[in-house]
Structure 1
């Protein structure tokens, strides 16, 4: 009696790596529900509150200066090497490459471009919103501060909000946003939250950002993730347009090469001797024909020749007559 072999963990991994025969129908696309809208509104209010506290040079600015004077990179210098490597998880270039590689495999396996298009839309939205806020507020970082206790706003800086922190929230949070099961979404949400929290604290440890910069970076990244469902119709239209373009290109390549039609030469009609206009009108024969009635060859009576066809010869004798004896010569 044969029993089925139990699948090992390695077998399940290789089965997971195989490409699905068609696009799965259970892909969950997040919707802009009332709960998400309320969360988005609350996050936006928190964003504006942080900006107001910094502009007003409130207790949050005083906390920024206290943390800066504490100099964490000197207090815990033994972990400096680890923080230098860990903060790379918030840089836009390396993280975008790693996440795009994973989402590219997801796109190939599930026959859809939605993961890659969603990543592109989120990074575009992040660069526009965070970049505009950085340039608009122009805050200087701790290493370039000029006046103790000031908010350092409007001095041509570009650190408020923290780009590393916001990029970590969006880049790693997009994995939870695109998760296909609720369990995977919960686990990936926890991992992305811990990763982005660590990246933000790493920038404070290194002294490249104020604590308020990191708080605003977390909020800015969360706003991008919460607003992504509004981009889903545009992502769907872009995916449909790309697939239509691919199908037309494949159909154009599959067409056989056009065969040029062979021109069959048309036989030319034999030229007839031109007749002069007066002769045609009068009914007379042309000048080069002898006068008199003329008939065609088929209308003539055949003439049978009489007698032999050979010309007469003096030495020939007609058949049926006796030939005269030839004289003998000699003795």
Structure 2
């Protein structure tokens, strides 16, 4: 096979970055977090002590107890809002992709946000819990209504978005620092929603558990993300080569096959290989030149062609070709 017929290969990764694996410790943490998630949902559904705690904090109204923090916390809670945080983290991870020459950071962020929207969104719509500002009965769990408050989306989004930065850290020290920052931000965002009265305490607990479940489950998606990364590299290599969507344009001057005769192709075994595909496509099914069809006229309609001059040979040739003694042989003149 010729070199130019091969598919463009992806560029080699400049540095082999360590990818987290599903270890025994991570699996134990995943199971424990899942147990907390289920226990929180069951506690709210059964109107246990957790719902009583929700009402006690709601009736306490923290935003009225400490109004001096209200303005600051109104801005701080944006760190858990999906739109602004996704844009900020995407810009940072885009720079990381360029620096590390790999699309993995953005692939990881996209995968985590997709899991977040699917799981948390389904839970919100499925249980339909009303928020504190829309509560209808004191002591009720406010389930199966028209709400979308359980679990807390701000809290879960803060855990996933800022936790991804710690997940992508390349050194143990950077991972510890990033994990500490992510923990402070997510704890602050969750408690701020309780302070502002937009979420119950149980909403925040379930939001922390939901976001942590996604982070702990990310190693299970490393293999699909690696496959997607390989496909993106191959597509990028083809795009740079100009052959991703359409074949390379071939100039008519670069197609010697249109002027190559059958004899040349039969004498040179490798002459057919030099014919570009565009040149072969322009031929018939047998790869030979063909001309447009022309109408054939009947023999009676053809114009007779009269040869110019006489068909009889010249006088000298008649003399040479005539046999001796024939009547047409020239006779010599008499000397008398």
Report the Cα distance in structure 1 between the residues aligned to 2:313 and 2:252, rounded to whole angstroms. Answer: 56
> Would the aligned equivalents of 1:176 and 1:186 in 2 still touch at CA under 8 Å?
yes
Residue equivalent to 1:175 = 165
Q: Report the counterpart of residue 250 of structure 2 in structure 1.
A: 258
What is the RMSD computed on CA atoms of the aligned residues? 2.8
Equivalent of residue 46 in structure 2, options 56, 60, 77: 56
Deviation of 1:188 (Å): 0.5
Aligned pairs for 1:1-331 within 5 A: 23-252=13-242, 258-261=250-253, 288-289=310-311, 295=317
Structure 1 contact 140–159 (Cα < 8 Å) conserved: yes
Secondary structure of 2:252's counterpart equals: coil
Equivalent-residue separation in structure 2 for 1:138 and 1:124 (angstroms) = 21
Evaluate the alpha carbon distance shift between residue 240 and residue 293 of structure 1 in structure 2; reply closer, same or farther with a 3 A threshold.
same
Aligned to 1:281: none
> Rg bigger for which structure?
1
Q: What do the CA deviations read for 1:9-54 (whole angstroms, capped 9, x no partner)?
A: xxxxxxxxxxxx9744341100011111111011101100000111
1:295 offset after TM fit, Å?
A: 2.4
Q: How many residues were matched structurally?
A: 262
Question: Contact 1:22/1:110 (CA < 8 Å) preserved in 2?
Answer: no
> Counterpart of 1:151 in 2: which secondary structure?
coil
Q: When the two structures are superposed, what TM-score results if normalisation uses the length of structure 1?
A: 0.74
Distance 1:287 1:209 in 2: 114
Q: Is the 8 A contact 1:22 1:111 kept in 2?
A: no
SS at match of 1:295: helix
Structure 2 unmatched runs, 5+:
1-10, 262-304, 322-336
Provide closer, same or farther for how the CA distance between residues 290 and 182 of structure 1 changes in structure 2, counting only shifts above 3 A: closer
List 4+ stretches of structure 1 deviating above 2 A: 21-26, 252-259, 261-264, 286-296
**Residue number in structure 2 paired with 1:303:** none
In structure 2, C-alpha distance between the alignment counterparts of 1:27 and 1:287, rounded to whole Å: 93
How far is the alpha carbon of 1:252 from its aligned partner?
2.5
Segments of structure 1 that go 5 or more residues without pairing to the other structure are 1-20, 267-272, 276-285, 300-331
